[in-house]
Structure formats: structure tokens, C-alpha cells
Chain A
């Protein structure tokens, strides 16, 4: 049995996208046994009728059971047994898929139990209430060591929170009131401090609840494509029902006109034997995909959950596969969150060494990531290891001066925005060299940010800060392009800078100096052009865009508003995961399409097994259609039925795992799947039925 190592969240290696595969969990043979009781429970017709293809199969099985009891024969019982197995195998597929989510659901459910909340009551006093009684708008207090009773926003205080229960990530996260880090999730634990939370969920609708519902799969709603496919399957079932039923009068007539033909177990003067007719029907209707369809859907959601993505609906997962345009925030998604020092460019005859040292000194007190990156670069250039031991008066950054630095004896070093530093130098009676403008211009054009460094009257040079594109992204975006997905970078930078970064990252387009309104407008524009848009967001101001996008992935660290607006939440808050979400969505559809094609094309071989078996006894010429040279009519029919049942079990791993998917263009995908599952569906059953026939012919009474 094919087994794949599950990919841990975050372990996607962007360096080698070609080797990446969407994988699911292990399929343990023991799961078959564990799921068996549930599979038997699902035989209840009230459950079965939801799946029309298998419902018809079950009715067929009931019919043959009755027929086998009335006129017992070894052949009749064998067919009956295998028809029941067909139904059970189908239920097994669904049960296994569900059981894999069940374990996850149980863990989640445990976190929900016996939480009590301290709610701010009417009279402004704290009162204890069970967590499940909390309503939207209630205000609760949570202290260190307590479980947060429900989803909400922090409105007071700051705390470190352990969210491992839902994200699986053990490192605590900081949650504080105001800003974009205010959302907390029910079931997570406060580790330190005390926060006051306003509940944003209705009872029973928390993320935890939704997650449990999702992984359990039982109350899963069918997705739009699944519904459409189901329709096709019902139609095929109906057509083959008509084919089979109307065949009977024609068979009776044929038997009558070929009076010489003796009665056989398959056909007599009263027509085709009921058991054979049912066998034909079950072989023709698309049982393979009918049996696996719901397992495929459950497994698809399961794959999402395994990647710590919480989709609000299956519809959203499918929509992810259809995405045309992917909006990506520059900061944090395409580039590392912070700019880094890239080069020192001296002006006015300053030595490179001197500039580096000045920059180093000016940045010693700068604890921002940018400051640290300047220090690192300067130390590398000067070879020294100055630390804070250098005395002096630190001048902190302020919004008014837009620079920071140090007064060190006679020296007064400043670094900051070029305009601000230039003004400061002029204020001290110094002059700004003409070459500065050119250098600043060049840096801006290349997508960098210039910082000027000055010593009172002298501009020493420029520090080039640069956005650093995450490694491997250009390859990833090229892959997206092959899949037909356009990537658009969203940034607040000016167009010149944005263009440079866009080129470096390899995105198809960019939106510079973007405001939330621009973002929303862009999404609407794309949608008007018939394109589906996916985006990630975390801030409250992203909420309208998230809501407008066809696939809006909110970061779990984001605000409740953002999470409410989107239709997926990434618990890892990894903005690049949207790429994977798209792939899972596509894989889900491909698996359905491929197995349907396989199921339908199987019918050709089954006809070649069953038609000569049924009618070869009337018209000897039709025995020529027995191109597989199957042993006897009974062995042929039995082999087809057995194949029909076994193929379900054989395909369960594939249904759970999803068919192989590598990001590529539609043509490549179609070529592969058409030949593998289309042509494979034609050829495989010929070989398999023949092989089964070689075995069953030894059963007494079956072979000739």
C-alpha cells in the first residue's frame, strides 16, 4: 500500500518546489478493521439513499439475496455476497475517511469541555458562567493558566497565549488589545498576565466548533462541483437502469426466436436471470466513483486541516482551485518583514571604512531590525566589534526629526531619512554634496531605501536598505504562472521601488502605494474581468478585501474582523500557504474527475465480459465478443462483479491521498490524467477481469 510521509506544516521547502507533493496521512491496514463496524452501520437505507449510486447497488443486493434464497445456487450466493461487499467497501471508504478526522475532532473537543468563564455582568461585577453560555458581545476576563472560553478580541491587557491546541505550534504568541494582534481563539490557554476579551462568536459557532464539524465530515455539505458530478452519476445510473430493464423484453424475444438455445443459469425462456440482470446493472453504473466520491471530499478537507488551514466551507476549497489572480502583500509574504542594510555608499570623499564606522556608531542604540542589520553589515565591513560600551548620548528616533544617532564627544553622528539629514546638516552650516541626489535616486529606482549618514556639517554617505525577497519565491511564482495563476504584489511602496521588487520576486504585476480601498478596487476589477481572486490578510482594514475576494485567507494572528471576513483561516499565519491551498483545491477536483473517467471507461471491458456471457448462449456468434477468453459465462459475470467490488478497495488509498498533482498547465494535466485514468480505465479491467477469471474458474459450479 502506498504510504507517504505527512508533511508537517511549515516544512514546505520553497527551494525545491519540484519535489514538493501534496500528501496525506498514512493509511494503516488496521483502519480498515476499525472502520468496519461503522461501514456496516451505514448500510441503513436511510443513510444510503444520500448516495444514489450505492443505494441502487444496495437495492440490487437485497434483490439478489431474495432471489438466491428463493432458488439457491452457488453462483447466486457468490454474486449476492460480492454485491453486498461492493456496498460495504463503499461505506468503508467513507468510514475510513471520517475516522481519520474523528481523532482530530476528539482532541479538539476535549479542549472545549468544562471551561468556566468570568463574565462582566449587568451590574459591572464579574460572574462565573459556563463557557457554552457565552454570547456575542459578552466581556470576559482570563488570567494566566486559564483557558480562553471563546473566540474574541482582546480589549484590555496583553498576554502570552499557548495556541498549540489548534495550531500544533508550541511557541506561545503575544495577544494584546488594539492593533492587528488582538484576536484570541476559544480553547487556547493564557500563559501569563491577564486579558479582557470581548466575545465575537455565537454559541456553537466558534472556530473550534467549525473545525470539529469539518474534520468529522458527517455533516459535511456537498460542494458545488460535487453536486454537479453527483448529478451526472445519478443520470448515468438512471440510463443504465433503463438499459437493463428494457433489455429483458428484448432478451425474451431473442430466446424465443432462437428456440434451439437451451436454458442456462443466465437466461431462460422467461428472460435473463434476475441475479445476472442485477449484476449487469451494478457493473454498469458508476459504482467506483459513487463509492469514493464522499471519501474524496472528506479527505480533501482533511488535507486542509492537516495543513492547519480552516476552511469555512468546502465551496471555498473548490474555489481555491479556480483562482486566477493571487494578491500577495509584499511585506512578510514576498519579502522578509524588514529591510536590511545592503551597502554603504560614501560621498564627498569619505572613506568607505569611515562611513561604515559612522553608521555603526549611529546605530548602536537602534534596536529595530533595520538598525541591527546595519550593525551587522558595518561590523562585517570594519572588522571591529564595537558594542554598547562606547559611551555617548544616544539620540532616539522621533517622528518629528525622522533620524537617530549619537553625540560622541566632538562628533555628532546622525542617520535617517535623506531629506531630514540633509536639512540637519544645512542647519549646522554644512553643505550637501550634489552627488547625493543621484545616489539616492539610483537606490530608490533599484527598490531600496536610502538612509543618509552625517557628522554635523558633513554628509558622510548613504546606507542602502533593501527589501530581501524570500528565497525560492521566484520559482514558486513561475510555477503559479504555469498553472495559469497571475500573482499581484500589493505594497505601500512607491511605484519605482515596487517595480524593482516585483521584478526581483518574479510576480506578474504589482499595486504600489496601495491603500485598502485600492486593494478592494483591484479585486473588484479583476472579478469584473471574470477572474477569481485569492488573497491573504490579517488587519482589520483588510476585512473588506477579504470579504470581496473569492478566496480570502485570514491569518490566525489577525483580527477577528479579518477572520470573519475571509472564508479560510490559516492557523499558522503563513501567508505563502495560499499557494498550497490552491493546490489542494485543484487536487480535490482532479481526483474526482480522474476517478469518474476511470469508472466510466471501465464499462467497456465489463460489457465484453458480460454481454457474451448473457447472450452467447442464444446467439453463438456473440460468443465471439468474449475477447478475454473467459472460462465460462458464470465465471465471466462473477469476475466482472468481483472486479467491480475490489477496484473500490484498491482505489481507497488514492481517493484519500488524492491523485498525484504537480503544478502545471491544464494541457499537461489533461494529457496525463486522460491517458492514465481514461486509457487506463479502458485497459485495466480487461487485465484484472481476466486475472480474476483465472482464479474463480476453479470454484465448483462456476468454471466449465
Chain B
């Protein structure tokens, strides 16, 4: 018998173990699980389908159609694309936009704050309420000033720019620290300005937070109860429904906290809209 070196022997053993694991863990286990799952929990295993209308777990884009409740904004592809699930991945201090060049030579990039402000404005307009939020300008961008100071980070303000408001927009404040606020010129380098978000005077926010933010995967099937209630008058109006009936429908499609304390309550938008269409 030929004695193979130890390291060769171990690699041969490794190869065989990997093969065995591939057959058992890699094929036998998932296929068996599929069999069991299909037999015991057929509905769930097949993706909790709602007939031909998709899955009750996967949110859908209702394309702004006014007779439907709208889902949250989504970062999955062009919105609710299961083939490209994603979050926005912008950080908590993403407040300064890259403004697009007016001639189209350079694409802009909205900061998270401006995205939030823009969505808030849009939802507010859609639902007929104020879309104002803290740190947002009236025209739906982040209320952020770039303050140039005499000594860099300190000293008197020498120049103030409203960073997210491209000229010729009127800055959301006229004067800051005694200096006239300018609108921002796309392409100009404001790196030397100190970024100062301005909270503003807004105290009552009408548009709920989930209406202005994307979810973790971009397929969130739920909206908050508050967002549903905000949309209810519009949907009722569009469909000519009794607000109280609609309210009941919302309640019926609201998932409470699991076991009473896990997670958060949410309204399943697809199921609610299916119910509205009488397809549930």
C-alpha cells in the first residue's frame, strides 16, 4: 500500500467530507424541508400568495393612484422590485445635496434629508395637509445653510449659502447671523462652508415618518396606522365610501403587535386595497 503524505491524506478526506455534506446538507436537507413545508404549510411555503395579485408579504407600488392607499417609498429598484431589494443606505447626517448642473452635464444626488423633505411635501399635497417638517424648506428640500466663517470653523459669518436650494430659488431664510443668505450655484465648491441644518419653527408634523422614509428591504407590505388614517379621507372621497366603513376596513387589515408586545402595528396595504376592490 502506498502511504500518502499526511497533508494529501487530509485534503482527500476533506474533499470527501465536502462531497458528503453537499449531498446531505446541500441537497437532501433543503429538498426534504421543501417537501415537509409544502405538505404542512403550503400557503406560506409558496410565498403567501393572494391569488394572482402577488404575495401578501410583498408590498406593491400603487403608482400614486388616488383610489388606492399608497405604500411607503421604496428603494428596491424603481420601487417595490423584488429583483433588486435594497435600502437607501444614506446616513443620518446626509443633509447636503449634490445639485444637478442646469445644463444637464452632471447628475445631482439628493441627500437623505432632501428626500425626506420632498416626500413630505408630496404626501402633504396629495392628502391635502401640510407637508412641513423640521429641517425642511417650504419647497421640499433640506433646510441646510453653508456658513463661511472668518477663521474656518469659528469667527464671524462672512457668507451664508442655502446649500440645497439651487439658484434662482429664494433661500428659506433671508438673513443668517446678520449675513444675507444666498441661493446655491450648482457646481460651486462650498466645501469650506460649515454645514448648519436649520430646524425651523415647525411644531406639528402632519405626515407620519414612515410615509417619508424607505424601508429596510424596499418591499415593506405595511404602513403605519397613522399613515393609513391620513390617506383614508382621500380614498373615501375617491371611492365615495363612508369614512367609518373605511376605518373598519383599515382595522381589519391592521396587524397588531405580535403576542401583544413584539414589533409594531402595521396596515397591510395590498390586502387593504384588495378589500377596497372587493377582491380579498
Contacts and interface: CB of A to CB of B under 8 A. Distances in A.
Q: Do chains A and B touch in the complex (CB under 8 A)?
A: yes
Interface of A: 257, 259-262, 617, 620
B199 interface: no
Interface stretch (B46-54, B132-140, B149-157): B149-157
Contacts of A259: 191-192
B194 interface: yes
A257, A262, A617, A620 pick with most chain B CB within 10 angstroms: A262
B191 A261 contact: no
Contacts of A257: 191
B193 interface: yes
Interface of A is mostly: loop
A260, A261, A262, A617 pick with most chain B CB within 10 angstroms: A260
A386 to B, nearest CB: 90
A259 B153 CA distance: 10
18 contacts: A257-B191, A259-B191, A259-B192, A260-B148, A260-B149, A260-B152, A260-B153, A260-B191, A260-B192, A260-B193, A260-B194, A261-B152, A261-B153, A262-B151, A262-B152, A262-B153, A617-B153, A620-B153
Contacts of B191: 257, 259-260
A639 B153 CA distance: 25
Contacts of A617: 153
Interface string B95-109: 000000000000000
Nearest to A263: B152
Contacts of A620: 153
Contacts of B193: 260
Nearest to B151: A262
Interface residues of B, number: 9
B9 to A, nearest CB: 36
Contacts of A260: 148-149, 152-153, 191-194
A257 B191 CA distance: 7
A262 B151 CA distance: 7
Interface of B is mostly: strand
B148, B149, B193, B194 pick with most chain A CB within 10 angstroms: B194
Nearest to B149: A260
Given A259-B192, A260-B152, 8 more contacts: A260-B148, A260-B149, A260-B192, A260-B194, A261-B153, A262-B151, A262-B153, A620-B153
B179 to A, nearest CB: 15
Contacts of B153: 260-262, 617, 620
A621 to B, nearest CB: 10
Interface in B176-225: 191-194
A620 B153 CA distance: 8
Nearest to B194: A260
A583 B127 CA distance: 82
A261 B154 CA distance: 9
A691 B108 CA distance: 52
B149, B192, B193 pick with most chain A CB within 10 angstroms: B192
Contacts of B151: 262
B56 to A, nearest CB: 45
Nearest to B150: A262
Report the 9 A-B pairs with minimum CB-CB distance, sorted nearest first: A262-B152, A259-B191, A260-B192, A259-B192, A260-B152, A260-B194, A261-B152, A261-B153, A620-B153
A257 B192 CA distance: 9
A620 B195 CA distance: 11
A260 B146 CA distance: 10
A620 B155 CA distance: 13
A210 B193 CA distance: 72
A262 B152 CA distance: 5
A262 B150 CA distance: 10
A617 B152 CA distance: 10
A579 to B, nearest CB: 53
A303 B208 CA distance: 75
Contacts of B152: 260-262
B96 to A, nearest CB: 11
A440 B149 CA distance: 105
Contacts of B194: 260
A237 to B, nearest CB: 34
Interface in B54-79: none
A354 to B, nearest CB: 91
A350 B153 CA distance: 110
A257 B153 CA distance: 13
A259 B96 CA distance: 15
A617 B151 CA distance: 11
Interface in B147-179: 148-149, 151-153
B161 to A, nearest CB: 12
Nearest to B191: A259
A262 B149 CA distance: 10
Nearest to B146: A260
A134 B197 CA distance: 90
Nearest to A618: B153
Contacts of B148: 260
Nearest to B152: A262
B148, B152, B192 pick with most chain A CB within 10 angstroms: B152
A132 B259 CA distance: 91
Contacts of A261: 152-153
A617 B154 CA distance: 10
Nearest to B189: A259
B92 to A, nearest CB: 13
A257 B194 CA distance: 11
A260 B152 CA distance: 5
A346 to B, nearest CB: 85
A483 B271 CA distance: 73
Nearest to B155: A262
A620 B149 CA distance: 13
A134 to B, nearest CB: 56
B109 to A, nearest CB: 16
Nearest to A257: B191
Contacts of B149: 260
A617 B193 CA distance: 14
B192 to A, nearest CB: 5
Nearest to B193: A260
A620 to B, nearest CB: 6
A561 B151 CA distance: 82
Contacts of B192: 259-260
B149 to A, nearest CB: 7
A254 B127 CA distance: 43
A259 B148 CA distance: 11
A302 to B, nearest CB: 53
A262 B153 CA distance: 7
A261 B192 CA distance: 8
A259 B149 CA distance: 12
Nearest to B148: A260
B151, B153, B194 pick with most chain A CB within 10 angstroms: B153
A260 B96 CA distance: 15
B91 to A, nearest CB: 13
A690 B217 CA distance: 50
A624 to B, nearest CB: 14
B98 to A, nearest CB: 14
B268 to A, nearest CB: 41
A500 B148 CA distance: 92
A267 to B, nearest CB: 12
A617 B149 CA distance: 14
B111 to A, nearest CB: 15
A240 B194 CA distance: 32
A617 B153 CA distance: 8
A529 B192 CA distance: 72
Contacts of A262: 151-153
A257, A259, A620 pick with most chain B CB within 10 angstroms: A259
A262 B192 CA distance: 10
B79 to A, nearest CB: 32
A203 to B, nearest CB: 51
A45 B151 CA distance: 44
B217 to A, nearest CB: 30
A660 B52 CA distance: 81
A335 B69 CA distance: 98
A620 B151 CA distance: 13
B195 to A, nearest CB: 9
